[in-house]
């Protein structure tokens, strides 16, 4: 496992999707191959959470991952196994310069996307791991130390500074491979 990764810590409506999208666009504009996924919370009218989608990075293609169930697998959610496979393909089907993955409750229990997280760390030069705040310790303690981290919510200046640092980390990783 190369284990080179950076963390974006947060969930819900704290700016995670915008931070990931901005970072992926910036890296892509610099000629870097980026891929992977993040999870987006799906809300009903108002504040009620009705599920989670997996969103492709970059590109924004979204597919359902979890919806409420009367026979849940974990908490109140039922998960679509095909979606885990699709997200895995978005992350691992080709060599990337930077891969984006997500870790939440399932991954803290070494289920869900956990295998994808570990394989991304092993095979991709740099991985951005989006970690839900409530499982940070459970996930991070199983991985090597990160190169950097951003905790959300954060100001635009903090997000921009983090993006600068990740671009610099990626350059360092790329030059060490050559």
Question: Tens digits of per-residue pLDDT, 125-156?
Answer: 999 999 999 999 999 999 999 999 999 999 99
pLDDT digits 0-9 by tens, 59-104: 889 999 999 877 765 567 889 999 999 999 999 999 999 999 999 9
Cα separation, 108 vs 20, in Å, equals 21
In the chain, domain spans: 5-177
| CATH 3.40.50.300 is the classification of domain 5-177 | yes
Q: Which of 14, 120, 118 lies closest to 57, judged by CA?
A: 120
φ/ψ of residue 59, rounded to 5: 120, -35
């Amino acid at each position: 496992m190369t284990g080179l990764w950076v963390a974006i810590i947060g969930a819900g409506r704290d700016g995670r999707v915008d931070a990931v999208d901005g970072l992926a666009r910036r890296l892509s504009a610099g000629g870097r191959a980026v891929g992977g996924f993040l999870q987006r919370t799906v809300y009903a009218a108002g504040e009620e959470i009705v599920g989670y989608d997996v969103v492709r990075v970059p590109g924004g293609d979204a597919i359902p991952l979890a919806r409420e169930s009367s026979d849940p697998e974990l908490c109140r959610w039922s998960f679509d196994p095909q979606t885990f496979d699709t997200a895995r393909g978005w992350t691992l089907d080709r060599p990337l310069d930077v891969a984006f993955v997500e870790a939440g409750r399932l991954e803290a229990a070494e289920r869900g996307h956990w295998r994808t997280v570990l394989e991304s760390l092993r095979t991709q030069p740099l991985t951005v791991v989006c970690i839900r705040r409530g499982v940070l310790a459970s996930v991070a303690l199983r991985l090597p130390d990160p190169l950097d981290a951003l905790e959300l919510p954060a100001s635009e200046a903090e997000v921009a500074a983090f993006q600068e640092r990740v671009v610099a980390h990626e350059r360092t990783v790329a030059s060490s491979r050559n």
